[in-house]
Copies of this chain bind each other. A is one copy, B any other.
């Protein structure tokens, strides 16, 4: 009954199998192996981007920071939401990788940038004294569980283009957004004006693999050097390649994302029936809700794990609503959701489902 994060869950068995299969004999190092080549080929195929520069790394922060470093110069501003992972949760890694660019966290009611907020923020820069206009970064799905529509993405990239700026997409939960929109990877990225993508895998069933995708390959060799200099070029690259290749085989990545999104939808439906309304519109695999302190205590006592934003849990009005985040990963399954809802409702807990 673990709703803490989609990085708390296990790796999919087919990914483990791929790692085992790759563990045979001696192979070329540093990403020149055939598994990496296969992973890159699949990404290009899936994205309908045969020339894209694709570089595998092992963490989402690495993917984001390297992508931003390719788009932003040290004297630039990076435009993002005030709750963007790159701004809030990466311990200044984007600043480190870009050589000191300034992240501007803009207000975003649905955790999404809007043209109305973005345009004036970009328009006021330009003199030598301030930061310069740099890239726009969009998180899809967002940190609050919402998903930009294709129109919303296009509207933002259009604003960026007005100022000659490029657009990065933080796709740590790319698959979850994609199945939510039911569109193609190309439609959600370069066809909508996205220049660089952090293509996440770790939160969706891999051990630790993400891809930095630059749809314009002009900076491909530069990215190779940036990755090495950031200490993210793996000598035994085959294990990253094998994971990513398996992920993209037979739609495994979409299957896992659908599993996570479905569990979340079930959870939200159940919570609504208890009178709980999401803080942000839950389109993917996570939701923020306010639950009464007493409900939190029941859930904790029953072994539910998740992040509580408010506090303290231990003392205060039992009816006071406290904000929490609930995340469903690919492996969670509906059983855990049923148990959670039963506990939340104060009902008997389904006994047959083992806690995970």
Interface status of A226 (Cβ within 8 A of chain B): yes
List, in ascending order, chain B residues with CB within 8 A of A16's CB. 19-20, 23
A235 at the interface (CB under 8 A from B): yes
Are A231 and B8 in contact, CB atoms less than 8 angstroms apart? no
Bound together, the chains give a CA A96 to CA B65 distance in angstroms of 14
Asked if A208 is at the interface of the complex by the 8 Å CB criterion, the answer is yes
How far apart are the CA atoms of A9 and B25 in the complex, in Å? Answer: 6
**Which DSSP category, helix, strand, loop or mixed, fits chain A's interface?**
loop
Known: A28-B8, A130-B88. A61 touches B100 (CB 8 A): no
Q: Interface digits, A34-70 against B, CB 8 Å rule (1 contact, 0 not)?
A: 0000000000000000000000011111100100000
Are B92 and A229 neighbours in the complex by a CB distance under 8 Å?
yes
**What B residues does A222 contact at CB under 8 A?**
73
Contact A356 B8 (CB under 8 A): no
Q: List residues 69-116 of chain A with CB under 8 A from any CB of chain B.
A: 73-76, 87-93, 95-103
The answer to the question of A187 belonging to the interface, with a C-beta cut-off of 8 Å to chain B, is no
Contact B91 A130 (CB under 8 A): yes
- The answer to whether the Cβ of A334 comes within 8 Å of any Cβ in the partner chain is no
Per-residue B-contact encoding for A158-171, CB less than 8 Å = 1, 0 else: 00000000000000
Contact between B230 and A93, CB atoms less than 8 A apart: yes
Contacting pair A92 B101 (CB below 8 A): yes
B97 x A102 contact (CB < 8 A): no
Residues of chain A in range 223-240 having any CB-CB distance to chain B below 8 Å: 224-226, 228-236, 239
CB <8 Å contact, B59 and A74:
no
Q: Which residues from chain B contact A305 at a C-beta distance below 8 Å?
A: 26
Could you tell me the distance between the alpha carbons of A261 and B4 in the complex, rounded to whole angstroms? 45
A218 CB to nearest chain B CB (Å):
15
Tell me the smallest distance from the CB of A325 to a CB of chain B, in Å.
14
Q: Is A132 an interface residue (CB 8 A)?
A: yes
- In the complex, whether A324 has a CB less than 8 A from a CB of chain B is no
Contact A74 B93 (CB under 8 A): no
Closest to A59 in B: B231
CA distance A90 to B90 in the complex (A): 23
- Decide yes or no whether A24 CB sits under 8 A from chain B: yes
A:182-239 near B, CB below 8 Å = 202-203, 207-208, 222, 224-226, 228-236, 239
B95/A234 in contact, CB under 8 A = no
- Check B58–A29 contact: CB distance below 8 A: no
Q: State the CA gap A132–B101 with chains docked (Å).
A: 17
Q: Which of B91, B103, B239, B331 contacts A228 (CB 8 A)?
A: B91
Known: A59-B235, A65-B231, A95-B101. 14 other contacts (CB 8 A): A19-B207, A26-B329, A30-B129, A57-B231, A59-B232, A92-B100, A93-B229, A95-B95, A100-B229, A128-B224, A128-B228, A202-B235, A207-B239, A232-B232
Q: Can you list 15 A-B pairs with a CB-CB distance of less than 8 A?
A: A11-B23, A16-B20, A19-B19, A30-B129, A58-B58, A61-B228, A65-B231, A75-B225, A90-B228, A92-B131, A93-B228, A96-B100, A102-B103, A207-B239, A230-B230
